[in-house]
Structure 1
């Protein structure tokens, strides 16, 4: 998608005709951009994945209340939990759990 540098509207594509080559034009202002027959790649940019920071860190769960929830990974029967309203107000809150087994520390949630 290309946008008009003058007014910001989305440009429309016009097929080539005898009088002009194919081009993009703005339906609201007189802006026209002719399309060259050969496309050139100006630059290649390598995408780098960003490190994802956890929403709830293990430090946040140290003082969180605990419950008798079974860990789906290791089967331990104690987990710390916290609640967040991740959806609209008329939907139930999302409960985030963390296994209290020192070797596991698996995180999961219930929507």
Structure 2
């Protein structure tokens, strides 16, 4: 990605047309950068996936969860532990996390 040195917007690429070389141009201001040679990749960067940590794990649910009547989507058992957490903005409802007491499957309801 290239950015406009004048206004900072992302430049758009335009293919060569009727003898004019390919170019980068700014959609907001009159900045144009003609490309005379082939574009070369300056640097390759390999992205590493971060390990995702769960909001609740099974130990947290056993310590702080309360028992309720909820049907497990996996084994259809009628009892589960639950805990509610506000993980989105304050004007959104809280997310409820459940853990089945029979098969220990965890699921959530937003």
Query: TM-score, length-normalised on structure 1?
Result: 0.66
Equivalent in the alignment of 2:49:
49
| Alpha-carbon distance between aligned partners in 2 of 1:12 and 1:47, rounded to the nearest angstrom | 24
Please say if residues 25 and 33 of structure 1, whose CA atoms lie closer than 8 Å, have aligned partners that are also in contact.
yes
Query: 1:76 matched to which residue of 2?
Result: 77
Q: What's the Cα RMSD here?
A: 3.1
How far apart are the structure 1 equivalents of 2:106 and 2:38? 51
Cα offset, 1:67, TM superposition: 0.7
Q: 1:17, 1:71 → 2: CA distance?
A: 61
Structure 1 runs not aligned, ≥5 long: none
TM norm structure 2: 0.67
Q: Per the alignment, do residues 25 and 67 of structure 1 end up closer, same or farther by CA in structure 2, a change over 3 Å counting?
A: same
The aligned length equals 107
Q: Is the 8 A contact 2:64 2:83 kept in 1?
A: no
1:59 and 1:21 map into 2 onto residues whose CA distance is 62
